[in-house]
């Protein structure tokens, strides 16, 4: 762990001291750790968004970066605490509660270990069962990032078949249209990101400034149907107009220029939200 980088994600918010406690525990393990926040604004208990956030972000960090992701509605239950190693060489410390879904599907997880709490747990915390983010995950993540333990020192190896995951529907390409899932809402700006790769429009011979027949469905019911421009950037359309564009992770998204597409239509994202893009 040459860079000793530790990155935190949670649904804790920053209104009280939980995040600070995770930092403090990590500093006690090794005060030279480089610690950063991915986000602490994951919606409460939302393991889907935790999963997507990791997928969206991990690739940008150096190999061997350790991520501590604590969105844990089942804290204290029999759900397993794990560390996953991705195909890109990152380590994810997390409950095994579907928070690894997107990394497993789109990047690949090559090894999974269950945290041995007899070794990787703060001494004196054994009688508490509600703050594993501090007592187990931050502590284990810090020990791994600092080199106090290696990956084998986390605990016993698990089968990759034990990874808990949401059921993802892959995108589909047809002769004159493509379909996919709207996987996430960019909360700040209201874009909806799909899992349709940019290359699908290239296969359909769609170029920038062409229009597409766009339909959005919620639980298979059509809730949106418009002709929308495929733009190079938000400036491709005037203020208030919709556009399809290429997002920063290689997929297609829909947005309102200088607006909030999701809020305008009261749309959300997840397994129940799908989109169809048809050539005109």
Q: Can you give the pTM of this predicted structure?
A: 0.93
pLDDT by 10-residue block (mean), the chain, 280 residues: 92 96 97 98 96 97 98 91 98 98 98 97 85 94 98 98 96 98 95 98 98 98 98 97 97 98 96 97
| Tokens encoding 10 | 């949670």
Distance of CA 7 to the CA centre of its chain: 13
Can you list the domains of the chain with their CATH numbers?
Answer: 5-162 (3.40.50.10790), 172-279 (2.40.30.90)
Q: What pLDDT does residue 129 have? A: 82
Q: What pLDDT does residue 1 have? A: 66
37 with 19: CB under 8 angstroms? yes
| Tokens encoding 220 | 């298979």
**Count of positions (residues) in the chain:** 280
The β-bridge relationship of strands 242-246 and 221-230 is parallel
Taking CA 11 as the corner, what is the angle to CA 10 and CA 15, rounded to the nearest 5 degrees?
105
| Tokens encoding 227 | 């002709």
**Tokens 């390409």 found at:** 173
């Amino acid at each position: 762990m040459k860079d000793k980088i530790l990155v935190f994600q949670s649904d804790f918010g920053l209104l009280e001291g939980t995040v600070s406690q995770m930092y403090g525990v990590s500093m006690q393990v090794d005060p030279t750790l480089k610690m950063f926040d991915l986000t602490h604004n994951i919606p409460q208990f939302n393991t889907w968004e935790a999963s997507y956030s990791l997928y969206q972000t991990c690739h940008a960090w150096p190999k061997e970066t350790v991520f501590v992701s604590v969105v844990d509605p089942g804290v204290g239950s029999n759900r397993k605490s794990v560390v996953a190693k991705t195909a890109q060489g990152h380590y994810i410390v997390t409950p095994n509660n579907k928070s690894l879904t997107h990394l497993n599907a789109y990047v690949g997880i090559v090894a999974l270990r269950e945290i041995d709490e007899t070794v990787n747990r703060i001494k004196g915390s054994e009688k508490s069962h509600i703050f594993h983010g501090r007592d187990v995950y931050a502590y284990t993540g810090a020990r791994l990032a600092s080199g106090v333990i290696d990956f084998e020192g986390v605990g016993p190896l698990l089968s990759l078949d034990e990874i808990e995951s949401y059921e993802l529907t892959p995108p589909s390409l047809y002769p004159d249209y493509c379909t996919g899932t709207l996987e996430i809402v960019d909360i700040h700006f209201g874009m909806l990101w799909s899992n349709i790769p940019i290359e699908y429009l290239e296969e359909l011979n769609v170029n920038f400034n062409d229009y597409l027949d766009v339909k959005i469905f919620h639980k298979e019911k059509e809730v949106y149907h418009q002709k929308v421009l495929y733009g190079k950037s938000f400036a491709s359309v005037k203020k208030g107009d919709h556009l399809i564009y290429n997002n920063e992770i290689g997929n297609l998204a829909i947005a309102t220029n200088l607006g909030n597409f999701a809020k305008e239509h009261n749309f959300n994202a997840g397994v129940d939200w799908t989109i169809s893009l048809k050539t005109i």
